Structure formats: C-alpha cells, structure tokens
Structure 1
Amino acid sequence: MVTQVVPKFGWTSNGAEQSHSYLLPATLRLLERHHVGSLLDIGTGNGSNLPAWLSGTERVAAMEPDEEGFSFAREYADADVRKIAVGEEIPADWRHAFEAIVCLEVVEHLFNPADLVKTARQTLKKDGIIIISTPYHGYLKNLALAVADKWDHHHHPTKTGGHIKFWTRNSLSQLFVSEGFREIHFEGVGRLPYLWKSMIMVFQID
C-alpha cells in the first residue's frame, strides 16, 4: 500500500513555481549535456515544467498522484501524463523506457524515499540517469539559519504538504549509491555558494 503525504497538495493553477527560475536552467543544461531523448518527470505537480522538457526532448512522460495537479498537468497533450505515485506499479510500456528521469523538489516530501530509487530502477534504460533536486542543507547554511532564527520559516511545519525529510549531499548520495547507482554530478543553485536554495544531483545506474 502506498501512503500519500496529504490527500491534496493544493494546486490551483498550472502556473510556474518560484523555484523554476533557478532549477530549470540548470536541469536543461544537464539534459542537453547527456543528449536525452526520452524523459520521465516524477512528481510533475501541476505540470508547469513540462513545456521546458517538451521543447528539447522527443518523448516526455510524467507521473503525479495529486488529483488537482494531475488535472492541470494533463492539459499538456504532448506529454504522456499519468496519475501514479512513487512506489505504485509502473505501466508495462514505461519499464526501462527512459534515458533520464527528472525529479525536482519531490524527495523531501516522501515518507519512504527508497520507493523513488525503486521507481527509477524500473523505468530507466541501461546507463540511464536521474536528475534530482531538493533543498540544500550544509554546515554554513544550517548555521546561518540558526543565527538568523529562521528554522521555523525554513521548515514551514504548518504548511499542508510541506517537507518531511531534509537532505545533505552525503545522505542523498547514500540513498542512491546503496541501491546500485553512482553519483556523477553535484551543483548548488539559487543564492550564494554554500547558502544555496537547492542542490541538483545526478545519479547513473552502475
């Protein structure tokens, strides 16, 4: 049984997220660098990032469990959008079908992050990659948050569908490397070095 974090995340439109301003340019550079022709967007939300993937990728699919998010995402008819959660059964035509996965700001919402690795293994082709982003945590940023008394604002515990996991480079790498992936890229995005808003990591099936 798959446990959802919340029944509804609260999508009200297909408008872009503020984080897209620093996540999408870096992700598109990585997709171009790896010459990706087929892509699965895991946790596409309201689908507002789908036009970016469709602009340079031959085959684009996406999965989203939230009913409202799914309804907005499926408006992009050129993408194969399906209402599926991480950890649920993967359709036969998606198994080992994609050269890359994009998973932006999703892993911090998952009760069982190992389900994400399982889904990646089931959907990626041989030598496929997963590009994953999540809010950055490291010593200097954590210290700055503490000094500025911003921990409550950073964790936003009262927000519906908020973050329940907080990742460092080492912990996210351990999640994937322990399951047969290898880390091939790391970068911080948004704000000053080591105070980054998010980190982007790329893992390849070993």
Structure 2
Amino acid sequence: MSNIKDVDGYRYGDAELNPSHGYLLPALVTELDRHASQTPGDKRVFDLGCGNGSISAEMAARSWDVTGVDASSEGIRQANAHHPGLRLEHGSAYDDLAARFGRFPVVVSLEVVEHIYAPRDYARNLFDLLEPGGTVIVSTPYHGYLKNLVMAVTGKMDAHFTALWDHGHIKFWSYATLGELLREAGFTDLRFRRVGRIAPLAKSMICVARKP
C-alpha cells in the first residue's frame, strides 16, 4: 500500500474539533504535559493523521511545535486554510515520513489505526518517526468483551462497524492486538487508558509507549 490515492477520499466538512475530541483532548494534553515534564526543552510533535488540523492547532496553542500529515487532501485543505502557521501536509502513513520530516521526541496519532489497511507499515512509521527515548500516543475505539456484548444485545453492531462509511473503520482493536502491534514494531513500556464513558464501555482507548 504505497499509493496515496488509495486512501485519499476521507471527507472533512470543516476545520473544527469533533465530538470525540471532548474526551480525547484532555487525555492527550495530560500525556503531553507528562512527557514535557520528564524531558523539558524540546516540544516538537508529529501528528500522524492530522485530519483537518484541529488537534494540531490545540497542541500548537499549548506551545508545541507541530508537524503533521494526513492522507485526505480535503482535510489538509481545511487545515492549511484555517491553521496556516502549522506545517501540515498531504502524506500517508505508508510513506517514508522520517526521511521527509526527520525524527521527533513525540508522535501523536489519534483515531487513525482503525482506518489503516496495512497496520504493520503504520506502526513501523510511528517507530521510525520517533527519536530514541521518544513517546508515541495512539488512540483508537475501544473494544472489550463487555462492550461488544452490550452492543450486540442492544442492536448497535451495525452502527458501530460502519460498513457503509467510505474510508471508515476497517480494523477493530483491543488492548491485546494493539499492544502486540506496537511491541512487534519495537515499542516498550506500553501503558493503556480508556476514555469516554465508564471504563468497561469506553468509547476509545489510548496507548502510550516508548521507543528504546
């Protein structure tokens, strides 16, 4: 999967935050603050899957030096129009991004991995983009036995699996599978948290990991 045209069709109507950011952004800010307190002085961050630039802009407002890419040309048009001071460019999780942009102490990728056709290529890119000792912050919709059971019993499975959504969710991750993906890529010290709703029915999970 190397042709960006294969993944370019994701649509954005504006450059605003979406409802998921109501629970993702506070957790992201906490993790960024934690990293900054442990390794002060270098607040560069790469946003892999920056979409319409709304989260990148929130990080920049908190004094982070943000670079990012997204495969959606429409998303990048929105991002560049509304956040012209940020370096947000058209690019894919399957590109050699480290060769293009260099390496960073922090890489953020929110609600992206569930859209990825080749997750090992994506995880390799996360790893390559990080400096040694760097931190990756990845989020994706949460899946666990109880939540899946509740969705099945209440007839929510079709809505959740978004089969009719072009470029929508195609992978459904658990702690176990996302952890295996990141460890296989070389990450260590994985730490998970759930956000949105009570933990057993969480909307998303966030994994924070380190590059040795």
Same fold (TM > 0.5): yes
Instruction: Give 1:34's aligned residue.
Output: 35
Aligned equivalent of 1:144: 150
1:169 CA displacement: 0.5
* C-alpha displacement of 1:94: 2.0
The alpha carbon displacement at 1:83 in A equals 0.9
Higher helix share: 2
Matched to 1:137, the amino acid is H
| Identity fraction in percent | 35
The amino acid across from 1:19 in the alignment is S
Post-superposition offset of 1:89: 2.4
Shift of residue 113, structure 1, vs aligned partner: 0.7
Q: Which secondary structure does the structure 2 equivalent of 1:166 belong to?
A: coil
Residue matched to 2:39: none
Is 1:86 matched up with 2:105?
no
Q: Is there any run of 5+ residues in structure 2 with no aligned partner, and where?
A: 37-41
Correspondent of 1:133 among 113, 125, 139:
139
Match of 1:196 among 190, 202, 205: 202
Give the number of equivalent residue pairs.
205
Offset, 1:167: 0.1
The equivalent residue for 2:11 is 10
Which TM-score applies when normalising by structure 2?
A: 0.91
Aligned to 1:163: 169
Tell me how far apart the structure 2 counterparts of residues 162 and 86 of structure 1 sit (CA, whole Å).
16
TM-align CA RMSD: 1.6
For the residues of structure 2 that align with 1:47 and 1:196, how far apart are their CA atoms? 25
Deviation at 1:58, TM superposition (A): 3.7
Distance 1:14 1:190 in 2: 22
CA deviation string 1:41-79 (max 9, x = no partner): 000111111221102234210101111001111231222
Aligned to 1:63: 69
d(CA) in 2 for partners of 1:78, 1:46: 14
Identify if the C-alpha distance between structure 1 residues 153 and 93 changes in structure 2 by more than 3 Å, giving closer, same or farther: closer
2:136, 2:78 → 1: CA distance?
A: 24
Aligned to 1:173: 179
Q: Note if contact 2:127-2:187 (Cα within 8 Å) is conserved in structure 1.
A: no
Contact persistence 2:45–2:108 (CA under 8 A) = yes
3-state SS of 2:30 partner: helix
1:22 aligns with 2:23: yes
> In terms of mean alpha carbon deviation, does 85-94 or 114-123 score higher?
85-94
> Does the CA contact (< 8 Å) of 2:98 and 2:128 recur in 1?
no
| 2:128 aligned partner, one-letter code | Q
Contact 1:183 1:201 in 2 (8 A): no
